[in-house]
Amino acid sequence: MNVVLRTPAKIGADTMKEPIIVLNMKTYTEINQGGALRLATMCKQVADETGIEFVVCPQQVDLGLMCNNVDLPVFAQHIDNVSTGSTTGWVTPEAVKSAGAVGTLINHSEHRIGIADISDLITRCRKLNLSSLVCTNDISVSRACAVLKPDFIAVEPPELIGGDISVTTADPEIVRRTVDSIRKIAPEVRVLTGAGVKNGEDVAMAVELGTCGVLLASGVVKSKDPLKTLYDLVSKI
């Protein structure tokens, strides 16, 4: 597939229509050597044809490339609660914003941080007009994060991440209860679900359970036919 250069998207959480599919590319080998840009271009193709909202989260070294060449909302995979300046090796919210990203993941299961840092980062994102997507692993953490009012909360039971069984199949009640708990505290916070999401039935079930979409990774990135998988993801909604 030829990669087409595009004007980067300028879209925030408040303008994203539901359902939303957030694709975390992680650091899989499949996204090296131009793979991330090719995959994002596939997401754009499916988004254009179906009207479904896609968000892509490339690894940090691809962030600027993606923001400058793909007409989709781009989120960073992580940001650090450090000041600008003498903080070698860390990634600041300001740098992510400068690269062109419109949002970021915070507290992913593979990069956990403390609640104080989560709170500070949500505040910094708000000041920068960056959308914040906080990942949580259970209802109690989801409640604590809901008080901080990020733009999104994604519930992902860690034992199901990267597995063959979706959380919507293995434990649909945790999704439903999490949605209800968050809405009681902060109804404006939108809830996503993740962990094991791989096909259209998983996405449809996530929406049925009350979420605004899904956060997924390996089901698409490691697929032998990513474009076919992307079309399948939106086939039931």
Give me the active site residues, please.
108, 156
Q: What 3-state class would DSSP assign to 191?
A: strand
Q: Look at residues 234, 204, 226 and name the one whose alpha carbon lies nearest to residue 47.
A: 234
d(CA 106, CA 92): 12
Structure tokens at 127: 């000041």
| Token code pair at residue 15 | 């303008």
Q: Which residue has the tokens 């793909």?
A: 70
Judged on CB neighbours under 10 Å (0-12, 13-18, 19+), 43 is buried
Is-cis flag, bond preceding 19, omega within 30? yes
| 3 state DSSP class of 168 | helix
Contact 53, 39 (CB under 8 A): no
Tell me the C-alpha to C-alpha distance, in Å, between residue 85 and each of 34, 54, 101, 115: 30, 33, 20, 24
DSSP 74: B
Q: Which two tokens stand for residue 209?
A: 């359970």
Cα–Cα distance for residue pair 202/54, rounded to 1 Å: 16
